[in-house]
Structure 1
Amino acid sequence: MSAGMSPGRRECRRSGEPVYDHQLFVQTISEFVRTLVRPYDVDTVLNDLAGRLNAVLTITGSGVSLAEEGRIRMVTVIPPELAALEHHEDETQEGPGAAAYRSGKLVAVNDLREVADRWPGYCRVARESGIAATAAIPLALDGDVYGVLSLYSAPPREWPQDDLAAAAVLADIATGYLINASTHHQQEQLNEQLRQALDTRVIIEQAKGVIAEAYTVSVDEAFERIRRHARRHNAKIRDVAEAVVKVGMRL
């Protein structure tokens, strides 16, 4: 480490090369881990994460794309001027992000001019957007890829291992947010299904009691009447039960 440098930052590899802000990186991790245990909006978190990543790595921009039916779809990009590049990759599935998604491996390009033959359309749009270098990191866990974190640099840029390692940690955090949000959504769906099942059981039991009393039959016979009526009229048993209880229908 050179004299006068903060212990939270590493020395540039060569003059003019952006500096990886380790102190900001640690602060970002701390803040996002705390957010994970509180209610949050996924889009807002990913947008904030992209903005923090730009500051941590001193890069031109970054974006997050999520997997959808075997493709990647842009969710957020900062600055918004890079949206055209991300949209192009969405539409064509051509570029480092799509390649990282398909392979589940990091794809880093120091100078897009060197891969113009591989991704001609992507490289053209990148040039028009003022981007010369890019890296894409899969958002993955246990072999499942949930999306891609993309890094953008206006000048050609080497992607040092320290920078990519820091970005990979933030990608893991983003993956954690996605999985946590998915699990929460699944739990909400399960709770709603259980609530509907309980409501259905309650209304059917009420209808059985009404029919049993009205026709002086057992509750088993009352249920058979409800079921036969539902079959004859191609209706759901719950709908018939609700008609019995709420509008006084008799079978």
Structure 2
Amino acid sequence: MSTREDQLLQTVGTLADSLVDDFDIVDLLQLLVDECTSIFDAAAAGILLLSPAGDLEVIVSTSERSELVGLMQVEAGEGPCVEAVATGQVVSVEDLREVGGRWPKFADDARRSGFASLHAIPMRLRNSILGSLNLFRDRPGVLNEPDAAAARTLTDIATISILQQRIVEESLTTQSKLQHALDSRVVIEQAKGYIAQSHGLDMDGAFRLIRAHARSTQTRLSVVAEAIISGSLRL
């Protein structure tokens, strides 16, 4: 097995080991681009991610130069990285001096960047496209199929990790809201019991009284219930 293959496997293992409960996405992606520069003999690497608003943003890079090229494409609204995200396909540009016909707005910036070739691999899982991993080289040349396959493997791991964290965060948000609802219900039941006893009402009557006050004052039921229990509100 070659040294390059060893490094690829080691990177896969490192990325997998990084997926602990409290892992940081930026740290993970920075590790990915740092390793990609040596694995794929790239001068630099960077990642563009789609924001919640749908805008592409540079999230990590290995150099100011590669970050600038990413920003140039975002501002121009075109370029290999933008196209990779839009199509979900690998976009390999073997010579950045010959992109004028394809991306005229980006062409001049590409030539001034000093990079000779650029290869964009979409961060995609099924129909979800999160961004792109972008490899910058100082020499012209295509991204051969073994390199493209290896790069896709690494981006798949990063993509799955981001989606996994989003699911966890959404789940935690849902659980938090559910727990808050359950806690609020307990407080409301306690307030109903207090009003029922203090006003000589049944539980339904007590709840109607609490609800009427909440509606008239445009206050949440749980807030009214907490005030009743604490003694700061008397109906």
Q: TM-score, normalised by structure 1?
A: 0.88
Question: In the alignment, what sits opposite 2:5?
Answer: 22
**Which of 161, 182, 194 is residue 210 of structure 1 equivalent to?**
194
Question: Which residue type is aligned with residue 219 of structure 1?
Answer: M
* C-alpha distance 149-197 of structure 1, shift in aligned 2 (>3 A): same
- Asked if 1:45 is matched to 2:28, the reply is yes
**Which of 219, 233, 239 is residue 217 of structure 2 equivalent to?**
233
Q: Distance in 2 between matches of 1:234 and 1:193?
A: 21
Question: Which residue type is aligned with residue 27 of structure 1?
Answer: Q
Matches within 5 A, 1:70-89: 70-89=54-73
Structure 2 unpaired stretches of 5+: none
Q: Distance in 1 between matches of 2:55 and 2:172?
A: 26
Q: Specify the SS of the correspondent of 1:135.
A: strand
Q: Specify the SS of the correspondent of 2:160.
A: helix
Matches within 5 A, 1:33-72: 33-68=16-51, 69-72=53-56
Q: Distance in 1 between matches of 2:161 and 2:212?
A: 49
Cα offset, 1:93, TM superposition: 2.1
**Which of 140, 149, 169 is residue 185 of structure 1 equivalent to?**
169
Cα offset, 1:226, TM superposition: 0.4
Q: Distance in 1 between matches of 2:169 and 2:231?
A: 35
Question: In the alignment, what sits opposite 2:80?
Answer: 96
Matches within 5 A, 1:59-208: 59-68=42-51, 69-208=53-192
Cα offset, 1:224, TM superposition: 0.6
Structure 1 unpaired stretches of 5+: 1-6, 10-20
Cα deviation, 1:164-215, whole Å, max 9, x if unaligned, reads 1111111111111111111111111112111211121121111111111211
Cα offset, 1:120, TM superposition: 2.9
Structure 1 residue ranges (4+ consecutive) displaced by more than 4 angstroms after TM superposition: none
* C-alpha distance 22-123 of structure 1, shift in aligned 2 (>3 A): farther
Q: Specify the SS of the correspondent of 2:233.
A: coil
Question: Which residue type is aligned with residue 32 of structure 1?
Answer: L
Question: In the alignment, what sits opposite 1:15?
Answer: none
- Asked if 1:31 is matched to 2:14, the reply is yes
**Which of 2, 6, 27 is residue 8 of structure 1 equivalent to?**
2
User: Could you tell me whether the CA contact under 8 Å between 1:112 and 1:123 is conserved in 2?
Assistant: yes
Cα offset, 1:53, TM superposition: 0.7
Cα deviation, 1:28-59, whole Å, max 9, x if unaligned, reads 11121222244300011001111011111110
Out of 76-85 and 44-53, give the one that drifted further: 76-85
Q: Distance in 2 between matches of 1:248 and 1:234?
A: 17
User: Could you tell me whether the CA contact under 8 Å between 1:71 and 1:93 is conserved in 2?
Assistant: no
How much identity, in percent, do the aligned residues show?
Answer: 32
Question: In the alignment, what sits opposite 1:3?
Answer: none
Give the aligned CA root-mean-square deviation in angstroms: 1.5
User: Could you tell me whether the CA contact under 8 Å between 2:69 and 2:109 is conserved in 1?
Assistant: yes
Length, aligned pairs only: 234
Cα offset, 1:121, TM superposition: 3.3
User: Could you tell me whether the CA contact under 8 Å between 1:211 and 1:250 is conserved in 2?
Assistant: no
User: Could you tell me whether the CA contact under 8 Å between 2:97 and 2:110 is conserved in 1?
Assistant: no
Q: Specify the SS of the correspondent of 2:18.
A: helix
Question: Which residue type is aligned with residue 91 of structure 1?
Answer: E
User: Could you tell me whether the CA contact under 8 Å between 1:84 and 1:125 is conserved in 2?
Assistant: no
Question: In the alignment, what sits opposite 1:17?
Answer: none
Cα offset, 1:129, TM superposition: 2.4
Q: Specify the SS of the correspondent of 1:249.
A: coil
